[in-house]
Amino acid sequence: MIARQRRWRHAPSATAVIAILCLAVLGTFAPTPAAAAETLNVYSIWPENWARPMFEEFEKATGIKVNFVRFSSGEALARVIAEKGNPRVDVLFGGPVETFAAGISEGVFESYKPPSFAKLPARFRQADGQWVAIADDPLVFMTNDKFIKENALKPPSSWNDLLASPYKNMLQMADARTSGTAVTRIFSILEVNGRDENKAFDYMKKLRPNVQLYTKSGGGGTLPVGLGQAGGGIFFIVDALDTKAKGYEVTISFPREGIGTAAEAIALIKGAKNPEAAKKLIDWASSPAMQGLFAKYKINFVPAHPDVALEPGLAAVLKDAKLFPIDADYAGANRKRIVERWVAEVLNP
């Protein structure tokens, strides 16, 4: 659609400006009629630099264009819930599986089993097909090398190492109100403590003085750690390795007690306006066709499909890590309550 130029005789009123902005937002996902059959609309939880090349490859393979907007997990989930009954998008793409499990209880997804469904390991597919995994993403500790050296520390190898006094006001990690990374971190701490919530929250309260900032997105603290503005943090490996690849002097380590890994999922939105195109994206994303491209684009996700080999460099980093999968059903059922408790007792005690 080509907008005709128009001169304002007088400056537009505030009401007119707001109306124009609203129309612009509403038009974000409005393809032209001629292209409607070949487009679909997506909320992507993956950052644009990972989502865009995947969607461009999908368009090359199928001719279907993906219009997408990126949000953190909590924001994306809130939007699809708010839009239930009149969805703005067809697919929710990427993000930790506990986000999708929480969405199931809100009735926002439509069951769909792509051709790869039966071949995926059980933890990478919801039994009714309300989501399927497209990757796996372990959490890691990431610390700034200069900070470690100046404080005569070793890279942390235990959850308790992060409680050490040199880390006071020197850690950054994500905010559970907006970030799926943070939710995975909290459920990792719960698992390490045998799902004893009081023990897990006691630990998080002790950790709180060492956290200088809880960031909106999961990877928001990686650059400050890379620059030495923060000493360390807890991030998904895909974000941590991206920071290291950019030349920042950081070290990735794992706690000996274990740390969680969360499946990254995709789901069909109930009431999608372009369901057939949406199913084609789910077919493609859950297959080797997309997951085989992670290495090409230097995206350090662990492929969910068993036919896609793990990139050797990533395999080397994970070799001795003690990882455990986040229980999607447990996390999905308790997510809202646990996050509310975290806000009340840890973030704003």
Give the per-residue pLDDT at 26.
41
| Per-residue model confidence as pLDDT tens for the chain (349 residues) | 333 333 333 334 433 333 333 334 444 454 444 344 589 999 999 999 999 999 999 999 999 999 999 999 999 999 999 999 899 999 999 999 989 999 999 999 999 999 999 999 999 999 999 999 999 999 999 999 999 999 999 999 999 999 999 999 999 999 999 998 999 999 999 999 999 999 999 999 999 999 999 999 889 999 999 999 999 999 999 999 999 999 999 999 999 999 999 999 999 999 999 999 999 999 999 999 999 999 999 999 999 999 999 999 999 999 999 999 999 889 988 999 999 999 999 998 7
Pull the structure tokens for residue 99: 């986000």
Rounded Cα distance between 324 and 260, Å, is 5
Write the burial class of residue 119 (CB in 10 Å: 0-12 exposed, 13-18 middle, 19+ buried).
middle
Rounded Cα distance between 348 and 26, Å, is 35
> CA 251 → CA 11, 123, 143, distances in Å?
55, 29, 5
Pull the structure tokens for residue 304: 């969910």
Give the per-residue pLDDT at 332.
85
Pull the structure tokens for residue 201: 């929250």
- Reported in sequence order, the residue ranges of the chain that DSSP labels E, i.e. its strands, are 39-44, 65-70, 91-96, 109-110, 132-144, 171-174, 211-215, 232-236, 250-253, 259-269, 323-325
Total-model pTM:
0.83
Give the per-residue pLDDT at 29.
53
Rounded Cα distance between 50 and 166, Å, is 34
Pull the structure tokens for residue 214: 């809880």
Give the per-residue pLDDT at 25.
40
Name the nearest CA neighbour of 346 among 119, 242, 116, 190.
190
Q: How many CA atoms lie within 13 A of 194 on its CB side?
A: 3
Write the burial class of residue 7 (CB in 10 Å: 0-12 exposed, 13-18 middle, 19+ buried).
exposed
Rounded Cα distance between 334 and 187, Å, is 10
The angle that helices 73-82 and 180-192 make with each other, rounded to 10 degrees, is 110
Name the nearest CA neighbour of 135 among 235, 261, 32.
261
3-state DSSP assignment of residue 152: coil
CA dihedral of 283, 241, 181, 86, whole degrees rounded to 10: -40
